[in-house]
Structure 1
């Protein structure tokens, strides 16, 4: 799909079966919704119309690609191949491109292909694609064997570990949870373009006959039941990625306005919400973030209690429970949910137990279940709720006049009456008297909306204090927010096998040395940069230690703790390094590059100009691995009197591991090692150090760095639009001069940024803003615009001739 899209074609992606995860990757590949084709869920007569609908919305497609499920003839158990790929191929008159894994066989592949093509009731197989081919010799052997079958080979994909996709307890990790998914897809699309005859694939597609049916139309399935447009809040984000595209289309056709809600980050329901749809996903994976968002939990609990029409499927059921694996959830259902070791996978018919928000007693629907959790109790028996369904003779789920929650996923295109009833309930819902309407935040107050952390020692104040135990949108902590790479998680898990032995960092230090082209004796593994600062502070009886500010305050604090008097060199805005500003008699100089919090990247020659006989210069490069190509880095250079510090905390998202290292002259490293407590670097830290020195790590670091560049540019454009001054830098954060009191007012609005009055040389007008995904940044910018508006006129965006034709991402406006 991605390879065809990159050829300029409009591609419509479809999936046989009920699975939600694969269509998420299809959407990423095609730039349009991925859709399911499942006869069990919607009935045979709707399969071809749904295919045509998906191929015309939002715009007509040039080609539709349907991914199969399991083996060609595998369908519903006991259904004689019903809902199999072959079944859907017949219903849509589609030719089949058979993908054959040849990693563990050769000529037998031809027998499999022959059997597939001649099996009773076989669809038309128009060619084969050989996958996981390990060598030209194997390819030749398989091709020669296939020649006897008459099936043409349309492509040969080589074995490549880079194509691997991470999995967990319910299959693949959804694309929405993988920041690196687009990058991985690019690699795969390039390989397909190189090794698959796409012209032959398109020629095969053109052999499909026209379908003599009308495209499915949601407007023909439901009717609008009121003149207004009630808001339906639909759960999305990383925790709720499972829903069928047709569900939203049916609700819109019934006159509803669908607004996406991210329960991990949004602190309130959309304004004027009159119905709530909580679909499937992985709340068990994101339970901590869901539980931390206490403001939304409270609002949802009140909404359900007030009778706001609410539908919850699987993940939504878990979210509405009292607890999930011990973490507090919404508490709208008197039930507790927990993970189990048992997989529930079934394709049932379900009968409604009673009249409810969605169903009428005795009504039968088809659906699917796929989960490893259970609830206690399994069915409603309190609070005016009864059971939702009877499945295989057992009552399950929770249902009442305004709530329907169960594990069963139902495709509403197959049962449009459910969408109609839900939309009717949204139109009919009238909010009861409340302290404030749903989704509307209270007016700003004089007292803080979230408790402001007290600052004891300013040099010991860190960004995590801004969000600790507070339900705030976090732009204060500089740790990368995306998931860790699978290879890093694998290394960390494997390191648990080493915890029975005392750790030894020798192998990790050798790996770091090889990465930077240094001698292993010039490398010291440390428990993060913080340990290194303490070791350096105790290394000598420094006569005049200098810290160049503004910068990370930990080295200053470590020097004072060791009994030294620190000389501050404060750089004025725009914070460029001036080597002449450092006193000549300084015997220790510490600075960051890029600096924290300014983000300024100093030229390497300006840093080396600080070197003097008898002086040790320490450069903290904790964020340089987030800058593509690591320009101005001194890590590969061996200078007498220069120590470079690195930390894995930020880029790799492992602050709890405490992993870093120092690079410097062998005699200095040896002296630091003598100061170091035995076994201070854990087995996990050693594993992380080794794992992040590989070629795969370099590739991923470069990708993340390029992502930072794009996201930082988006943030800077937004600040420019608001007329907010900020410092040009290269780090994954931006230092902005927003004005006195704005840090506090942003907290009122539910947003945390790093206060900067604890950095020497900066005052309360400055804040540090972490670079985040564009959608998160837009929420910050919306909040910032709201808190600035009462205090000054918002300027017009600056006119930049170079930007005249550059599209700006649309931002969803939210009440602050």
Structure 2
């Protein structure tokens, strides 16, 4: 059992009397005297505790019986005040004001009684004199469980004015421990949700120094300390986060917690629970940080004022993309209040993260109050039927563009959105009262592995299923290609020589042979580029084929991503690529979206000191090979090509790199000798002559016609899809349709393993009309 330290509660007859001024000033003044002071706040407020933390140098703490349960108040006070010389508890509203209709539950008086703490009453006397004695006497006699042990008079107009009040109070026996004059220099600015948080004010430290001097000059601190020591002995078991939760694994996955000026709301115990559950808590500032902390496996976006900083947050496009990708990839994400608004498509008139298909806007009405909430279904934080208590405090409103699964069911309706990896709502919950929320979140963080970057369509094309998952041309190979492949086996007794293939590919693209490197498929090319340098900041444009990302990760690089968005057709915006990116990887046409980026847009990615790798694996499947950079010569440009899909030879692994001769030479030095097989080299030679180019154009034309028919059929059925040019179509068929198609004998490529996409998308390979009709018939049988 641990005893509570000396303690006192700072209260007032009503809001606006100066509780925060006196409480924070006392904390700062006692700390300046060398005491270890523990600051606490009654109620759900986040802002005042920020000033407490600044004044004491200790974590901010809240004590709210409604949010955590009355039985946890003393244990939490014991935990938060461990090692302190004195605990100062700032009240909320008027002394006896608590949750409406509850008889004062969660009021300052309730906490004072639970903790057996004497009360220091702050009274603003600016508009009366003797009447305040009656108010104090009435408060002192209202509840015998609450003892007012001293008074501080605030906003005294003059010494004569203060003497009048002191004289009137004398018969009550309650001593006046201080008189504060009017002093505008210590006022804290307000905004639509109350005081401006300490973290947002550059002058907060100076304000605290003035407060400490004011209290030292006008309040009898020795008497205040003596009053705190009058608190009776009260011992108990301190709250221990390690008892409440357990670690899901021996790993220490990182939970990225939004901070800085825009996100200042969060309960200290929440993060202590996450650490006890085996997670590392790393703060990041959405205003300034271009990416999430290294190793991030979970995200916590607490409340704050993103609406105030909306323009600055929107300007940090790199982080917006990283957050969009993380949420789309299923990274466990909790967003409360301001965090919910930030995840929306827009916040007011400016862009938000865009992870939610919703809009956040300011409302003329403040939403404020305690709430009971029930989880309508299993989700990231709760299980169906779980009940919690929480608090709402916001002036924004979020409108979803389509029906969503709510995070909570409140008495007045649903709130937020939730699923297995996301919980976003306006409701603030104190996890010390519901440690299972922390446990569920931490378990998901421990289990998160990110998108399966090694998932490929061939895994889905099982025997017995009609294959729309693999982007390999379905027609027969040309006789001349088969003949060349068979002939190459006659030379299997000799190590393969790539020189003829290099010369043929160079001639095909109008380049010198020093700018060409045959590879064992595009995969070897990606591996070579990943190992080419110790990239400082490699960036992959997503959603796209995951091979380059996987290769970079395997080479030990931390990969940043820039997400193209469905709302603008997955267009590429070069300005969103971080300026310091030294490697940028982009597909053209992009797999799986099928979007063909303009060559000029791709050229805008080039700059001194940067390497740009353009994956043109499917460009030969588009008539005329538009927007290609394969024959262009730019410092830092590399282009990867593949013969695998268009020529129906995935087992042969034939690809190549084109571009900057210095980079090509460096990649060749990393290449394992004879890594490219004789059949692959033979295919490169055969597929580079005039006969092959003519055949390639015929195939591309046929694929374009097949795609056109598929596009028309999807349009007729009201199925959204990306208007691309590639021999595959990215369609938004809805959640569960991928599985339902498999049950109907059709294999399509799931898209949720591509960063930036979720399970509502599938990629459909273009096929001849007679096969496409079977796909459409199966699609028609599935309710959507």
TM-score range, shorter chain: 0.5 to 0.7
User: Do 2:374 and 2:387's aligned partners in 1 also have CA atoms closer than 8 Å?
Assistant: yes
Aligned to 2:174, which of 151, 159, 165? 151
Distance 1:122 1:329 in 2: 49
For residue 120 of structure 1, report the CA deviation from its aligned partner: 3.3
Residue 35 of structure 1 aligns with which residue? Answer: 61
Distance 2:434 2:535 in 1: 40
- Secondary structure in 1 matching 2:62: strand
User: Do 2:310 and 2:350's aligned partners in 1 also have CA atoms closer than 8 Å?
Assistant: yes
> Quick check: 1:381 aligned with 2:400?
no
Residue 41 of structure 2 aligns with which residue? Answer: 15
Distance 2:137 2:537 in 1: 71
For residue 185 of structure 1, report the CA deviation from its aligned partner: 1.0
For residue 746 of structure 1, report the CA deviation from its aligned partner: 12
> Quick check: 1:348 aligned with 2:371?
yes
Distance 2:130 2:296 in 1: 61
Gap change, CA 1:306 and 1:70, over 3 Å in 2 = same
For residue 210 of structure 1, report the CA deviation from its aligned partner: 2.2
Deviation track 1:269-307 (CA, whole Å, cap 9, x = no partner) reads 111111111001000001011100111111111111111
For residue 445 of structure 1, report the CA deviation from its aligned partner: 7.5
> Quick check: 1:278 aligned with 2:304?
no
> Quick check: 1:316 aligned with 2:339?
yes
Gap change, CA 1:298 and 1:13, over 3 Å in 2 = same
Aligned to 2:437, which of 412, 418, 432? 418
Gap change, CA 1:107 and 1:18, over 3 Å in 2 = same
Distance 1:393 1:177 in 2: 33
For residue 151 of structure 1, report the CA deviation from its aligned partner: 0.6
User: Do 1:472 and 1:747's aligned partners in 2 also have CA atoms closer than 8 Å?
Assistant: no
User: Do 1:292 and 1:470's aligned partners in 2 also have CA atoms closer than 8 Å?
Assistant: no
> Quick check: 1:406 aligned with 2:425?
yes
Aligned to 1:430, which of 444, 449, 467? 449
Deviation track 1:434-477 (CA, whole Å, cap 9, x = no partner) reads 5999xxx9645899x99xxxxxxxxxxxxxxxxx9878799xxx
Instruction: Give the alignment of 1:805-816 within 5 angstroms.
Output: none
> Quick check: 1:215 aligned with 2:215?
no
For residue 395 of structure 1, report the CA deviation from its aligned partner: 1.3
Gap change, CA 1:393 and 1:199, over 3 Å in 2 = same
> Quick check: 1:368 aligned with 2:391?
yes
For residue 34 of structure 1, report the CA deviation from its aligned partner: 1.2
Residue 185 of structure 1 aligns with which residue? Answer: 208
Distance 2:270 2:35 in 1: 27
Distance 2:386 2:352 in 1: 31
Deviation track 1:56-91 (CA, whole Å, cap 9, x = no partner) reads 1xxx11000000001000001111111000000001
Task: Say how many residue pairs are matched.
Answer: 453
Distance 2:538 2:69 in 1: 55
User: Do 1:293 and 1:471's aligned partners in 2 also have CA atoms closer than 8 Å?
Assistant: no
Aligned to 1:78, which of 101, 109, 117? 101
Distance 1:377 1:330 in 2: 14
- Secondary structure in 1 matching 2:356: coil
Aligned to 1:335, which of 338, 358, 364? 358
For residue 139 of structure 1, report the CA deviation from its aligned partner: 1.0
Distance 1:192 1:249 in 2: 33
Distance 1:412 1:236 in 2: 18
Deviation track 1:91-142 (CA, whole Å, cap 9, x = no partner) reads 1010000001111110001001000100134501111010111101001111
Deviation track 1:400-434 (CA, whole Å, cap 9, x = no partner) reads 00000000000000000000000000111112245
> Quick check: 1:397 aligned with 2:416?
yes
Distance 2:411 2:106 in 1: 20
> Quick check: 1:4 aligned with 2:51?
no
Distance 1:747 1:210 in 2: 69
User: Do 2:318 and 2:578's aligned partners in 1 also have CA atoms closer than 8 Å?
Assistant: no
Aligned to 1:109, which of 117, 132, 141? 132
Q: Which structure's CA Rg is the greater one?
A: 2
Distance 2:352 2:576 in 1: 16
Distance 1:395 1:108 in 2: 47
Distance 1:195 1:264 in 2: 40
> Quick check: 1:52 aligned with 2:75?
no
User: Do 1:116 and 1:122's aligned partners in 2 also have CA atoms closer than 8 Å?
Assistant: no
- Secondary structure in 2 matching 1:353: coil
Residue 24 of structure 1 aligns with which residue? Answer: 50
For residue 346 of structure 1, report the CA deviation from its aligned partner: 1.6
For residue 325 of structure 1, report the CA deviation from its aligned partner: 0.1
User: Do 1:292 and 1:471's aligned partners in 2 also have CA atoms closer than 8 Å?
Assistant: no
Instruction: Give the alignment of 1:540-689 within 5 angstroms.
Output: none
Deviation track 1:515-558 (CA, whole Å, cap 9, x = no partner) reads xxxxxxxxxxxxxxxxxxxxxxxxxxxxxxxxxxxxxxxxxxxx
